[in-house]
Amino acid sequence: MFLSVFDIFKIGIGPSSSHTMGPMVAAARFLDDLRGGVEKIPGSGDLHALKATLHGSLAFTGKGHATDRAVILGLAGCRPETLDPDDAEKIEADIRAAREIIAEGLPALAFDPESDLVFDYGPALPGHANGMVLEAFDRLGNPWHRQVYYSVGGGFVLTAAELEAQQAGPQDLHEEKAAHAFPFPFGSAAEMLEMGRCSGKSVAEMKRANETVLSGRGLDAALDGIWNAMNGCIERGLVQEGILPGGLKVRRRAKGIHGKLMAERGLNLAQPHQANDWMSVYAMAVNEENAAGGKVVTAPTNGAAGVVPAVGRYYLDHCVGATREGLRDYILVAAAIGGLIKHNASISGAEVGCQGEVGSASAMAAAGLCAALGGSNEQVENAAEIALEHHLGMTCDPAAGLVQVPCIERNALGAIKAVSAASLALRGDGEHFMPLDNCVRVMLETGRDMSEKYKETSQGGIAVNLPEC
């Protein structure tokens, strides 16, 4: 098993990696199929029209997550990593007006979002809570090509066949051979610790060695690029004002809080817990940008995108002895933990609730901070376990399907928990009762047992307990 740091941390757009980025990627992949000369369904004529059907959580909270816009943009050839959010509205409006898709390498394709983009509120597709079906037809309405996609969290997209193969495990030696291409192919926290003991290397050093196989030279510059994107999102969020889109009339607060914190600097007025306010404002700045559809870095998802940047900024601005090298270790170790959680459980709120999003992000940040502050491998694993353990059972219940309430504040508290977890781990010797692997397993089991109404469908919890206006 190997997930690169660049798989875990991807630049995209808000408000959701699973509901916005994933569907956009799926739609763009479908166009690639059509361009690539995929074998059409026998009996059909020339390619003429498209249809998209959203199922499960993509249907129930798709409007709030702008999933419909994401599909339209994906069919227009847009991709999350390169799309300018300022262009999105015009592209969508043009397609809605023309009722057709003009995509490079393909004929003009009929597509009216009002009738050809369907929200199916029936049972979810069998593979995953975030399922969608993309179809192409000839001029007479005969099926031309059909593909089922699942958006499995963090912007990752799998076809039904790919998901089935992944769930079945390696069918041959290909995956095992790929793992052996990396010097430290740990697939669990226990393996990570054992490889560290045998090699004498830290988690950051092992992760760096694995990444070097893929990235070669220039890894530090690429890691700095991830951080610059994260920090840039913080900076944008700290200067924006106004009401977030979607109808809840949630007001941006990061700029106001940041202004008050800056005004108190040097006046000897700060309470000891003011450090929490700094972490909170950094996280809120990111998630307000995400809620507004801005550029963010999945960490490991958009809904949890504020935790890792907030703790990284806290490390740089507030921790004694912080260095650029320490920040790179922070990113590498956070990605290592995120990869383990995704491989062994899930980072999808629609699959396991918010414990898989903010809980995973908090574990990643805790481990990364512990490593950056000089923690041993055992302390790093302990930090991740503490942070994840105390998010177990957290539901995903966004009001109106928007990644705003309670998501923005949850990121702030996830950052605070991460720093507390790292600090507790550093005060110990790495010995602890509950291994991280067990905690990850519990998260998966808890998610499976959790009612569907608490897994990003906005049918329970905070989502249905709004104040009357």
DSSP sequence for 186-224: --SHHHHHHHHHHHT--HHHHHHHHHHHHH-TTHHHHHH
Rounded distance between C-alpha atoms, residue 350 and residue 102, angstroms: 32
Of the pLDDT bands very low, low, confident and very high (cuts 50, 70, 90), residue 466 is confident
Structure tokens at 379: 């302390």
Rounded distance between C-alpha atoms, residue 393 and residue 79, angstroms: 33
> Taking the C-alpha atoms of 356, 85, 112 and 108 in order, what is their torsion angle to the nearest 10 degrees?
-120
Rounded distance between C-alpha atoms, residue 419 and residue 281, angstroms: 15
How far lies 198's CA from each of 115, 186, 191, 202, 324, in Å? 60, 13, 10, 11, 28
How far lies 431's CA from each of 111, 341, 377, in Å? 59, 21, 11
Q: How would you class 265 by CB atoms within 10 Å of its CB: exposed for 0-12, middle for 13-18, buried for 19 or more?
A: exposed
Rounded distance between C-alpha atoms, residue 70 and residue 157, angstroms: 14
Note the pTM of the prediction, 2 decimals: 0.93
Of the pLDDT bands very low, low, confident and very high (cuts 50, 70, 90), residue 10 is very high
Please give the pLDDT value at position 1: 58
| Average confidence (pLDDT) over 132-160 | 96
Instruction: Decide if pLDDT at 96 tops 50.
Output: yes
| Average confidence (pLDDT) over 39-47 | 88
CB 12 within 8 A of CB 74: no
Nearest to 148 by CA among 30, 269, 57: 30
| Average confidence (pLDDT) over 333-361 | 97
Name the percent of the chain lying above pLDDT 70.
96
pLDDT, one tens digit per residue, over 279-302 is 999 999 999 999 999 999 999 999
Please give the pLDDT value at position 192: 98
Rounded distance between C-alpha atoms, residue 174 and residue 332, angstroms: 26
Q: 315: part of which helix (H) or strand (E)? A: helix 307-318
Mean pLDDT of the chain: 94
Nearest to 282 by CA among 303, 255, 302: 255
Of the pLDDT bands very low, low, confident and very high (cuts 50, 70, 90), residue 213 is confident
Please give the pLDDT value at position 178: 54
| Sign of the CA dihedral with 155 first, then 156, 158, and 164 last | negative
Instruction: Decide if pLDDT at 188 tops 50.
Output: yes
Instruction: Decide if pLDDT at 237 tops 60.
Output: yes
Count of C-beta atoms within a 10 Å radius of residue 268 = 6
| Gyration radius of the chain's alpha carbons | 22
pLDDT, one tens digit per residue, over 412-455 is 999 999 999 999 999 999 999 999 999 999 999 999 999 999 99
Greatest Cα pair distance, the chain, in angstroms, is 78
Please give the pLDDT value at position 174: 38
Q: How would you class 267 by CB atoms within 10 Å of its CB: exposed for 0-12, middle for 13-18, buried for 19 or more?
A: exposed
pLDDT, one tens digit per residue, over 215-227 is 766 899 999 999 9
Nearest 5 degrees, angle CA 363-CA 364-CA 370? Answer: 90
Please give the pLDDT value at position 170: 52
Question: Which residue in this structure is represented by tokens 């394709």?
Answer: 109
Q: 289 or 176: which carries more pLDDT confidence?
A: 289
Structure tokens at 394: 């957290």
Question: Which residue in this structure is represented by tokens 């009002």?
Answer: 114
Rounded distance between C-alpha atoms, residue 422 and residue 134, angstroms: 44
Of the pLDDT bands very low, low, confident and very high (cuts 50, 70, 90), residue 326 is very high
CATH of 185-464, one of 3.90.660, 3.10.100, 1.10.4100, 2.70.98: 1.10.4100
Q: 174 or 10: which carries more pLDDT confidence?
A: 10
Of the pLDDT bands very low, low, confident and very high (cuts 50, 70, 90), residue 172 is very low
In the chain, where the domains are located: 17-168, 185-464
pLDDT, one tens digit per residue, over 364-403 is 999 999 999 999 999 999 999 999 999 999 999 999 999 9
DSSP E strand boundaries for 213-301 = 295-297
Class of CATH domain 17-168: alpha beta
Nearest 5 degrees, angle CA 173-CA 178-CA 202? Answer: 130
Please give the pLDDT value at position 87: 92
Instruction: Report the amino acid identity of residue 27.
Output: A
- Helix axis angle, 324-344 relative to 219-237, nearest 10°? 90
φ, ψ of residue 96 to 5 degrees: the values are -65, -35
**Cβ-Cβ contacts under 8 Å for 59 (sequence gap 6 or more):** 119, 120, 121
Please give the pLDDT value at position 38: 85
Residue 466 DSSP one-character state: P
Per 3-state DSSP, the chain is made up of helix, strand and coil in percentages (nearest 5) of 55, 10, 35
Please give the pLDDT value at position 52: 98
